[in-house]
Structure 1
Amino acid sequence: MKQHLTRLPVLAALAVAAALTACGKHDDERTAGQRLDGAIADAKQSAAETKRDAQKAVNDAERSAEQAGDKAAQVTSDVTITAKVNAALVADDKLKATQINVDTREGQVTLTGQAPDAQSRERATTLASAVDGVKHVNNQLVVSPKNG
């Protein structure tokens, strides 16, 4: 039994040493684990930032495409308005023989050139105003002096 008692302190010392060694290894593993956890957290944050940046880029692209689409639609609409106003002017007996320039921007129609008389000048405004999409007519037609 005495032998067991002398071994006990040695065994206890060995157990403490083993425990300390295990703790040291455990600390190293936790440090590595903590580093891994930190790297994972950094990667998640970076991924979240990348996702946020990508979403912003998508939103910006959608907004730009929408604005470009709106602009294209407006230009198409303006071209259509100009064509319809020209067609209406050509269909009018007094105005078809005249050179009237039609310019449309954002639904605002500007008429330039000459009209055979004051009544035809006003008729040009009426015809242009009747075209779908026309917001305003700026009639700058000049009555021909020889007819006026």
Structure 2
Amino acid sequence: MNSSHFRAAGRRFGGAAAAVSAAALLLALGACSKQQDNATVGQQIDSAVAKTEQAAEKAKDEAQSSMAAAGSAVKDAAQDAKATTQETVDKMSATIDDATITAAVTAGLAKDPDLSAIKINVDTQGGRVSLTGPAPSAEARERASVIAKSIKGVQAVDNQLTIKAG
């Protein structure tokens, strides 16, 4: 082998990679010499260089494919995380809204002279208010519904208040 072949390989692969390329070339030549006993050293080098270039191109294609798949996976994971975060925020917001509605309805009932003296249970889920417990009269029971419906965010009122027999 003469050094001009290695210099040619070095120019082909770049300065820093020349040593690595030369080592790979020697290994490839060892394998080629068994298959190509009748080929000249130059032909063996050219064959090894061609095989090395093919292997490098294949590795490049595989790396690009892997990078594209990794990029897609990262993008999908980010979208999933964003959706999960938004879902959590929405649930927390609904819970806070329901708690705010329950507090406002309870405060409104406490301001009514007939309803403030009795224990009315107020439960809110998804803006739907349920009222349970006793009411002193049919009129007070109806006022409880009106008070609950007047609170911002209330979607519906399920008035299950029972009129105390008196």
TM-score bin (small chain): 0.7 to 0.9
User: Across the two proteins, how many residue pairs are aligned to each other?
Assistant: 128
Give the aligned partner of residue 78 of structure 2: 58
Kindly state the Cα deviation for residue 30 of structure 1 after the two structures are TM-superposed. Answer: 1.6
Matched, 1:27 2:38: no
Question: What is the CA-CA distance between 1:34 and the residue it aligns to?
Answer: 1.0
Percent of aligned pairs with the same residue?
Answer: 36
Residue segments in structure 1 that go unaligned for 5+ positions in a row = 1-18
> Aligned partner of 2:72: which letter?
R
Post-superposition offset of 1:28: 1.2
Alignment of 1:73-84 (within 5 A): 73-84=93-104
Unaligned runs of 5+ in 2: 1-38
Report the Cα offset of residue 23 of structure 1: 3.5
Q: Point out 4+ residue stretches in structure 1 off by more than 3 angstroms.
A: none
C-alpha distance after superposition, 1:52-89 (max 9, x if no partner): 11111110010000000000000000000000000000
Cα distance between partner residues in 1 of 2:46 and 2:131:
88
2:23 is aligned to none
TM-score (norm 1): 0.83
SS in 1 for 2:117: coil
- Which one has the largest radius of gyration? 1
Local SS of the residue matching 1:133: coil
Residue of structure 1 equivalent to 2:138 = 118
Partner of 1:16: none
CA distance in 2, matches of 1:95, 1:143: 12
- Cα deviations by residue, 1:100-142 (Å, 9 ceiling, x for unpaired): 0000000000000011000000000000000000000000000
Of residues 75, 88, 95, the one that matches 2:115 is 95
Q: CA RMSD in A?
A: 1.2
